[in-house]
Structure 1
Amino acid sequence: MTTAMNPRYAELLEPPIPSPGPALTAPRIAGVATAVSGTSYTQQEILDLFEISDPKVRSVFLNSAIERRFLSLPPRDPHGALRSEVQGELLDKHKRLALDMGARAIRKCLANTGIDPHDIDYLCVTTTTGFLTPGLSALLIRSLGLRPQTSRVDVVGMGCNAGLNALQATAGWATAHPGHVAVMLCVEACSAAYVIDDTMRTAVVNSLFGDGAAAVALVADPSQPPPPVGAHRGFHGPRILGFSSHLITDAIDAMRYDWSDAQGKFSFYLDPQVPYVVGAHAEQVVDRLLAPAGLRRSDIGHWLVHSGGKKVIDAVRINLGLTRHDVRHTTGVLRDYGNLSSGSFLFSYERLLREGVAAPGEYGVLMTMGPGSTIETALVQW
């Protein structure tokens, strides 16, 4: 014998039919801008200023595919030589450089897009070269005169990959708040993260990094549909379609900060095998990024890869089957600025925009690599 279920309970057990709601709108990159610290140096000039004579160390500097970097060098001692800065001085330098470069990058980004500073509703700031409480986001809201109710988040210590981690958080906020302006800033005062000694460990790091900041403004505006293929180039910034990450847990110590008791400061470590480890895992994370859109690597017209170093770029290029032309902006940024940590890929993006070759409908891949060891990717479409 069966018993009919009470209609009241049947109603509770059956899932309700969802009511139609507004479709989520992919956020667009409305604008980008970069800034650097005051003075640039050739690799040879840096070797001379620090009086580095070891042939092996000099070879690391001079074979780095870097021509110039923007740096804020230490003050001189009574004898005229550049002296080593203590950790407190480095933290002060980070604060000074980061606020200056970050504010300039944000102001320029807003000017390029016609956005008023008071229209910013969300600010995400990422940095790895220093620690502050309150974070840079709070200090920049005050110095830029942004509204006190601006939502903010600081991404600290994630390294060179952090620009795309922060962009994902910013894109998520923009998607959830259509029509509102979200700004993401990468600001790295690499001059504030140097240890000067005669070891090969520090030589690899000191030969590579430079100071720089990059800001992007995002807006998810449902009133702006995607432009038709063939529309005027540059009519819209690209939409951010998705992200994909890969953490190489076997190489979790390959890039890291250690405390040096001898130096009394933090020292960055970069394993020589990093380029090969990253290159070996590049294919799977990119293919996972493209699969939901039904795309192949050959469908991607623009590749904007982190300028992590000559060997890193070559390893990624070879493993993904890219041409030297595909990574021309990546290598150009490395040549002119060195490794700018989290903001490097945005320097490449800015160069692509200036080139004026991205057409509506074309796809691009953004890729960053850093401690973890981590590969972060994003898919965009103009």
Structure 2
Amino acid sequence: MTISIEAPAVGARDPRPLAEDLPDDPRPAGIARLLGVGTAVSEDSYSQPELLDAFGITDSRVRSVFLNSAIDRRFLSLPGRARGGGLAEEAQGDLLDKHKAVAVDMGSRALLTCLRNIGAELSDVRYLCCVTSTGFLTPGLSAHIIRDLGIDRHCSRADIVGMGCNAGLNGLGAVTGWAAAHPGELAVMVCAEACSAAYVFDGSMRTAVVNSLFGDGAAAVAVVGGAAADAAATATPTPRVLKFASTIITDAVDAMRYDWDRSAGKFSFFLDPHIPYVVGAHAELTLDRLLAGTSLRRSDISHWLVHSGGKKVIDAVLVNLGLTHHDLRHTTGVLRDYGNLSSGSFLFSYERLQNENCVQAGEYGVLMTMGPGSTIEMALVQW
């Protein structure tokens, strides 16, 4: 079944105002509506003990990092075995090839699942934004996905590359802006992260932290703006995006980065061990900015969809925002089952919330991502 996405009549308004909860917001009907989501992962999954064996890790300190990560399994595209028994070495060129193959495959499958979930067709897609930080392509993922899936070649597109784990909300800001400017037309954001294409195996504690955490995954979310967003919504409540808030912690710009490792001759991630405390210390500031002018209190937020950045990061958010383990159940569940999926993690949590069928019309939610910069991004939504 194809959804009906029609432009609203001139002067048409969302018939359901925001119940006077956002009196100072210039866009009381919301920027756009999230119609549905779809996810995909790479082919093979591994438990943490299986990965320790695959990497040949015997150092007790490194093993402890893996085994105390609150992660059970992750999906990864690992190289084959070398003659000596360990994993084969991959040059930077091999990793870029892997990024292209895995990210395009996962991203395409996530997009198709998203469209199927809302009853849309590829021909409905008018704008495609692709987000990734695990490799570099020119042209970007959007061009490859449009070609491979046969999407209309006149589809508008954008690629957001290198912003890291927070980039899903940066991308969503661009997508909702496009959707608001083109009411009734379907926009899709795809976050595709082939984290397997960014691994360095050198036995150091620096790379051990990264290798213990990240997994492959892609998520797609469909967005429509204008009054047609409500007409396209199904019986299940779908959220309107109301506003965004952003904080870049400039004193910690180098605390999370993906740069050239001269000793390894390839790119690699670096995560400062103080990142959880940096994120936690600035989470409340960003939330206060998000809720400013809305007449909403923190207790008015029913749903929290937070990036699964790691056990310590999640704990820091929980403590500093006064949340409960139940509030972050989807975040910890995604971390447990997939690891850190970078930019698409929060959409995996959103999918789990959708599948619970527990959201009531009128409830509010906060989307939250954290990443290099160091950066905290948030969005306020209402079902």
TM over 0.5: yes
CA shift, 1:226, in A, is 9.3
Contact kept in structure 2, 1:160 and 1:342, CA below 8 Å: yes
Q: 1:83 Cα shift? A: 1.7
Q: CA deviation at 1:79?
A: 3.1
Q: How does 1:241-280 map to 2 (within 5 A)?
A: 241-280=242-281
TM-score normalised by L of structure 1: 0.91
The count of residues paired between Structure 1 and Structure 2 equals: 359
Tell me by how many angstroms 1:75 deviates.
Answer: 1.9
Q: How far, CA to CA, are the matches of 2:218 and 2:267 in structure 1?
A: 22
The 5 A counterparts of 1:133-144 are: 133-144=138-149
Q: 1:359 — aligned with what? A: 360
CA 1:141–1:233 in structure 2 vs 1: closer, same or farther (change >3 Å)?
A: closer
Structure-2 residue corresponding to 1:199: 204
SS in 1 for 2:305: strand
- 1:321 maps onto 2:322 in alignment: yes
Q: CA RMSD in A?
A: 1.7
Matches of 2:238 and 2:194 in 1, distance apart? 28
SS in 1 for 2:320: helix
Q: Is the 8 A contact 1:34 1:214 kept in 2?
A: yes
TM-score with structure 2 setting the length: 0.91
The structure 2 residue matched to 1:171, chosen from 164, 169, 176, is 176
1:198 deviation in Å?
A: 1.1
Where does residue 38 of structure 2 map in the other structure? 33
Structure 2 match to 1:6: none
CA contact under 8 A between 2:237 and 2:359: conserved in structure 1?
A: no
Q: Structure 1 unaligned segments of length 5 or more: list them.
A: 1-19
Determine the C-alpha separation between the residues in 2 that align with 1:136 and 1:181: 19
Conserved 8 A contact 1:233-1:360: no
Q: Which amino acid aligns with 2:196?
A: S
Cα distance change of structure 1 residues 297 and 233 upon mapping to structure 2, 3 Å threshold? farther
State the Cα deviation string for residues 194-228 of structure 1 (Å, max 9, x = none): 0001110000000000000000000114145599x
Maintained 8 Å contact 2:12/2:227: no
Deviation, 1:262, is 1.8
Aligned match of 2:61: 56
Distance 1:233 1:195, change over 3 A: same
CA distance in 2, matches of 1:226, 1:58: 52
- Give me the whole-angstrom Cα distance separating, in 1, the residues matched to 2:229 and 2:338: 35
Shift of 1:268: 0.8
- The corresponding residue for 1:7 is none
Offset of 1:348 from its aligned partner?
Answer: 0.3
Aligned to 2:20: none
Following the alignment from structure 1 to structure 2, what is the Cα–Cα distance between the partners of residues 243 and 257? 26
**Partner SS for 1:353:** helix
Q: Which has the larger radius of gyration?
A: 1
Q: Aligned to 1:73, which of 74, 78, 82? A: 78
**AA in 2 matched with 1:96:** A
Instruction: Determine if the alignment matches structure 1 residue 212 to structure 2 residue 213.
Output: no
Hey, what's the Cα distance between the residues in 2 that align with 1:64 and 1:374? 22
1:234 and 1:315 map into 2 onto residues whose CA distance is 36
Give aligned-pair identity as a percent.
67
- 2:333 is matched with which residue? 332
**Counterpart position of 1:132:** 137
Say whether the 8 Å CA contact 1:27–1:240 is kept in structure 2. yes
CA distance in 2 between counterparts of 1:75 and 1:239 reads 45
**In the alignment, does 2:90 pair up with 1:85?**
yes
Q: Shift in Å at residue 42 of structure 1?
A: 0.4
2:4 maps to what in 1?
Answer: none
* CA distance 1:81–1:224, shift in 2 (3 Å): closer
User: Could you tell me which amino acid in structure 2 is paired with residue 30 of structure 1?
Assistant: L
